[in-house]
Amino acid sequence: MPDAAPPSTGLRLIGRALRRHRRRLTVGFALIMVWQMCETLVPVLIGVIIDRGIAQEDGSAFALSLLGLAVLFAVLSNSYRFGGRFIVRSLEDEAHLLRTEVAGHVLHPRGARTSMLPGETLSVATSDAELVSQVMWQLAFAVASMASVLVVAVYVLQVDVQLGLMILVGVPAVVVLIQVVTPLVARRTHRQQQSTASASGLAGDLVQGLRPLKGIGGEDVALTRYRAASQTARRDTIGVARSWGYLLGMTTGLSGVLLALVTLVAGSLALDGEISLGQLVALVGLTQFLAEPITGLGEISAQFAASRASAARIAAFLATPRIVRVGDRVPYGERPQLGIANVSGGPLDGLSFTTRDGEMLAVTIDDPSTSDALVRLLAGADEATTGTITLGGVPLGELTIDSRRKTLLVSPHHTEIFEGTLRSAIDPDGALPVEELDEVLAASAVDDVVALHPDGLDRAVRAGGSSLSGGQRQRVALARALAARPPVLVLQDPTSAVDGVTEHAIAAGLRSVRTRLGGTTVVLTSSPAMLQQADRVLFVRDGRVVAEGPHSQLIGDPTYREAVLR
């Protein structure tokens, strides 16, 4: 099944959010409108109490009006309570769906080709997802505010046409004038979101790489970079706060002038006896009430702009292409082999070789960039310029993702270790029998790591394996690869961070485990210990195979000897 296309723009993403919660939102919007209109009717009913109950000294009318006021407050409070519940449930569900969609895009078996730092991706999945879901509150309040303004206008028109027209014309005029400032707020908000996400991403990367930074003495350079990014985010955040201040000041000023005029005219009408005392009280109360919806209507466009910017960021992220190209074929044969035929691309220049069933094949490469290029091709991150890479006689790009993952595992030099325990890092599904798990631990020398801690395999591991040393992380990554038991396993420099004694033990253990399982193993390495265990060694120079044979035979070649003994 092909992936369903995500919304291509921020507006479409927002539209999808509203559609998939439309039933709950319809009820929530209706209840919020009832709440807002009940708020509108409170000063009106107080005016009625004054005119019919107090001014006319009618006890029954006064009691009945008080009862009506009590009922109004009961409806008011409950409509807000339950309307808010429907809307909050919808927006929290939407935020959750967006977070899982972003995570699913990143964790998809085919990967996602994005230039975002991990911290930026986290910002998209959290703060941007929250801002998009807030559109539901914004829309609910906008609809309720417009309805309440219409209710006020209808009531005031019945009291006095002049006052009613002032509200019907004045409120839209104030809202339109406020829109002069909202583009400024929107632009600064968008810039602030980007700079904050960038600073967060940089901070996350620096924390994750703190130990290597200390090792090379790069703390000062890293701190300078982060300080610059943080200062940019600070300036942008202050700029957003300043623009919001302009918006709030303009909204308060314009709405205050309008409401003061309405109150002044109403007071004059009361002095002339054209409206009653109760109507005056109602009009004054309504003018005070109108300040909130007018302010809200003025701010909503800026709030929506921020949500739309976040929606655009999410849509752009979800539109990033997949890394691994796939088809609908499966490898031929029960024990498919890896074939590389005249492959060129980057530093590779006509590389060719084919694995043999059950062998341990070592590939010694003179240039680390060539090794990285080969690993990226095998993992599907890049495609060859010329030539083909096949698995079981089928080009990699034509295989289904399931058959490819089931048959071939590529473990690069730098691998991620996830937060959890040693056990979950090596055997996430808990599927390995105890005997096989012990064999994997011994082969990768992780049994030493287990023995060093009182919790053993239940030892806690922090995200990125930061609680482990470099050598320990490398051994855990090797154990995880062995535990997967793939028919074809490709390892890149699996022992570069361990001492010589441990390296010899791992080389022997790797061969023993893979021989027993009957799988084919390709090791990209220059380690003499690994090369001695290999059935066959390929020497790659200038992007192509220049020599082939056992390590004991190739060691007589001065160029090969220099490559493996440097």
pLDDT at position 544, please? 95
User: What pLDDT does residue 287 have?
Assistant: 76
CATH number of 10-318: 1.20.1560.10
pTM of this prediction exceeds 0.85 = no
DSSP helix/strand/coil, 113? coil
Domain positions in the chain are: 10-318, 338-565
Measured between alpha carbons, how far is residue 329 from residues 223, 235, 326, 379 in Å? 50, 54, 9, 17
Question: H-helix or E-strand containing 348?
Answer: strand 348-354
Note the pLDDT of residue 348: 95
**Helix H or strand E encompassing 436:** helix 434-443
Q: What is the pLDDT along the chain (566 residues), one digit of tens a residue?
A: 345 678 989 999 999 999 999 999 999 999 999 998 888 888 888 888 887 777 777 777 778 878 888 898 899 899 999 999 999 999 999 999 999 999 999 888 888 888 777 777 877 888 889 989 999 998 998 888 888 888 888 888 888 887 778 777 777 777 777 767 667 676 777 677 677 777 776 776 666 655 565 556 666 777 777 788 888 888 888 877 777 777 777 777 877 787 788 778 878 887 777 887 878 787 777 777 777 777 777 677 778 878 888 898 899 999 999 888 889 999 998 889 999 999 998 899 999 999 999 999 999 998 999 999 999 999 988 889 999 999 999 999 999 999 999 999 999 988 888 889 999 999 998 888 999 999 999 999 999 999 988 999 999 998 778 788 888 999 999 999 999 999 999 999 999 889 889 999 999 999 999 988 778 999 999 999 999 999 999 999 999 999 999 999 999 889 998 888 76
Angle between helices 22-48 and 277-318 (to 10 degrees): 160
* 338-345/348-354 β-pairing: antiparallel
pLDDT at 99: 94
Residue 427: per-residue pLDDT: 93
Contact between 533 and 556 under an 8 Å Cβ cutoff? The reply is no
> What is the C-alpha separation between 186 and 301, in angstroms, rounded?
9
Distance, CA of 14 to CA of 7 (rounded, Å) = 9
- Return the CATH fold of 338-565: Rossmann fold (3.40.50)
